[in-house]
Structure 1
Amino acid sequence: MTTPVLLAWSGGKDAAWTLHALRQRDDLEVVALLSTVTREYARASMQGVRVDVLRAQAAAAGLPLLQADIPALCDNAAYDAAMSQALAEAAQRWPGLRTAAFGDLFLADIRTWREQRLAAAGWELLTPLFGADTAALAREMQAGGLRAHLCCVDTRQLDQGFAGRAFDAALLQALPAGADPCGENGEFHTCVWAGPMFAAPLELRRGDTVLRDDRFAYTDFSLASR
């Protein structure tokens, strides 16, 4: 018997590598992905990945994609309501599903908050990458074939010029001292287009980079076929 798992899916490298890690285990089965999407923009919250790119990623991973839609100005109550509804729908669709996985790496306070919110809904939390050395993890991802680009950069932590760059060895060397190699402190977010978790690479087209809220530089990536 395997335990079914719902994986939180941002479209980025940590979620993608979490999927890869979970698929190495014979006691678990990821049955679906769940993305939190900002309703007004039709993009993954924080990362800004387009919904059609999220769906293409899910298709490449061979998994259904569920959405928890939230408003652009979302408070904790609205987020909890959207997540609770999504979890309830997932549990109804997959009987026995009560485990949610996240790609958290080392932020203990966020992990504790997730654990508490899931427990309130009768779910358990799984974070297979938690506690990993992020420098080693970043190199492992790259050596393992994961390919991604930076789609969001916090310009208070990194220069805007990092937006749109490939997540590769050159990027790791260029990061300033104190920046986390996996961007776990919010320095950057990524959009994955290839890796061992996908049956085939995605073809993405790089678009414009825009600055929002005088802080976050978003680089748009769209499906090349569109």
Structure 2
Amino acid sequence: MKNVIVSWSGGKDSAFVLFKLMRNGEYIIKGLLSTTSEETKRLPIHEVSTSLIQEQATSIGLPLFEVSLPSNANNDLYKKTLKKQFDQFKNNDVYTIIYADLFLEDIKVFRDQLLSEVGMIGEYPLWGRNTSALAEDFISKGFEAIVTTIDAEKLPSEMVGKLYNKSFLENLPEGVDPCGENGEFHTFVFNGPLFQYSIPFSVGETFETVSGRFLHVEIHSS
């Protein structure tokens, strides 16, 4: 059996890949890894608070390893900080990071190069999956998620804050990936077969980042 850490965004793809691993007897899951902002205490782009990410980890029953970076961190600082965390994983006999990437080759190349520099590897159990089938599979397994972020250039504003369900998929504009793999939207999973209990939250106001390019909905622990 192989010790692994799962890269964790709190969204549907990372939740689904973790679900798959937990049903596979070949892996010992040692924890979840999230990258957060020092200033906002949120996951960048997703803009979900770290307290909610921690609540997910608690409900799942796994430790959360948080790598915190300043918002103006350059690529060198990003890599240096992650490598430091990777070295700690290796000290605990973990040499593999699991990612939920589906088909963006440049991201995969970046991850694999960074891991190779510290003697580790990445695995991508969902790589190449048909995203329409994957979205339907996620929903059919009983997962529940809310859309926390949309790219306002690709989706109408009223779609932020919606539940990620069949109705949401049916109303996606033409050309938008059903898993949002091109960054069209991001989600927060609050219930499903991974969780010992549903994550309690309330929905607040919407807000913008990147000069209005991304629209987010505030979700609060409750």
- State TM-score, norm by structure 1: 0.95
Deviates more, 1:58-67 or 1:80-89: 80-89
Residue aligned with 2:31, SS: strand
| Contact 1:15/1:103, CA 8 A, preserved across alignment | yes
Structure 1 counterpart of 2:106, from 104, 109, 114: 109
Matched residues in 2 for 1:83 and 1:161: separation? Answer: 36
- Structure 2: which 5+ residue stretches go unaligned? none
| Pairwise CA distance, 1:86 | 1.4
Question: 1:221 Cα deviation (Å)?
Answer: 1.1
Work out the CA distance in 2 between the residues paired with 1:149 and 1:129: 21
Q: May I ask how many residue pairs the two structures share in their alignment? A: 221
- The equivalent residue for 1:148 is 145
Is residue 222 of structure 1 aligned with residue 220 of structure 2? yes
Distance 2:103 2:164 in 1: 20
Amino acid at match of 2:162: R
Which residue of 122, 132, 135 corresponds with 1:135?
Answer: 132
Q: CA deviation at 1:152?
A: 0.8
Runs of 4+ in structure 1 off by over 3 angstroms are none
Structure 1 residue 90 displacement after superposition: 2.5
Q: Give the corresponding residue for 1:63.
A: 62
Which moved further from structure 2: 77-86 or 56-65?
Answer: 77-86
Residue 14 of structure 2: aligned partner: 15
- Match 2:117 to one of 110, 120, 123: 120
For residues 137-184 of structure 1, the C-alpha deviation after alignment (integer angstroms, 9 at most, x for no partner) is 000000001110111111111112111110000000000110000000
Aligned CA RMSD, in angstroms, stands at 0.9
Would you say the 8 A contact 1:67–1:86 is kept in 2? Answer: no
What residue number does 1:98 align with? 95
1:89 CA displacement: 2.1
Q: Percent identity?
A: 33
SS at match of 1:44: coil
Q: Residue 171 of structure 1 aligns with which residue?
A: 168
Rounded Cα–Cα distance in structure 1 between residues aligned with 2:18 and 2:133: 18
Whole-angstrom distance in 1 between the partners of 2:158 and 2:84: 39
> Matches of 1:106 and 1:132 in 2, distance apart?
8
User: Quick one: distance in 2 between partners of 1:146 and 1:97?
Assistant: 28
Query: Which runs of no fewer than 5 residues in structure 1 stay unpaired?
Result: none
- Matched residues in 2 for 1:145 and 1:78: separation? 39
Deviation of residue 83 (structure 1)? 0.8
Distance 1:76 1:156 in 2: 26
Which amino acid is the alignment partner of residue 177 of structure 2? D
Measured in 2, the distance between the counterparts of 1:81 and 1:49 equals 24
SS of residue in 2 equivalent to 1:48: coil
Distance 1:71 1:207 in 2: 25
The equivalent residue for 2:83 is 84
Letter of the 1:14 counterpart: D
